[in-house]
Amino acid sequence: MSQQSISVKEQSVLLQERAQILEELGRLRELMQAEVDVEPDEGDAEIFEREKNAALIAVLERKLQDIESALRSIEKGQYGICERCGEPIEPGRLEVKPDATLCVKCQQEVERLTRRNRPTRQVEW
Ligand SMILES: [Zn+2]
Q: What is the pLDDT of residues 10-43, one digit of tens each?
A: 899 999 999 999 999 999 999 888 766 666 666 7
Q: Is the pLDDT of residue 58 over 90?
A: yes
Close Cβ partners of 61 (under 8 Å, ≥ 6 residues apart): 25
Question: How far, in Å, from the CA of 91 to the mean position of ligand 1?
Answer: 13
Q: What is the average per-residue pLDDT within 36-53? A: 76
Confidence of residue 1 (pLDDT cuts 50, 70, 90): very low
Q: Is the pLDDT of residue 104 over 90?
A: yes
Question: What pLDDT score was predicted for residue 64?
Answer: 96
**What whole-number distance in Å separates Cα of residue 91 and Cα of residue 75?**
19
Domains in the chain: ranges and CATH: 2-116 (1.20.120.910)
Question: How far, in Å, from the CA of 33 to the mean position of ligand 1?
Answer: 40
**What whole-number distance in Å separates Cα of residue 1 and Cα of residue 118?**
43
Question: How far, in Å, from the CA of 30 to the mean position of ligand 1?
Answer: 38
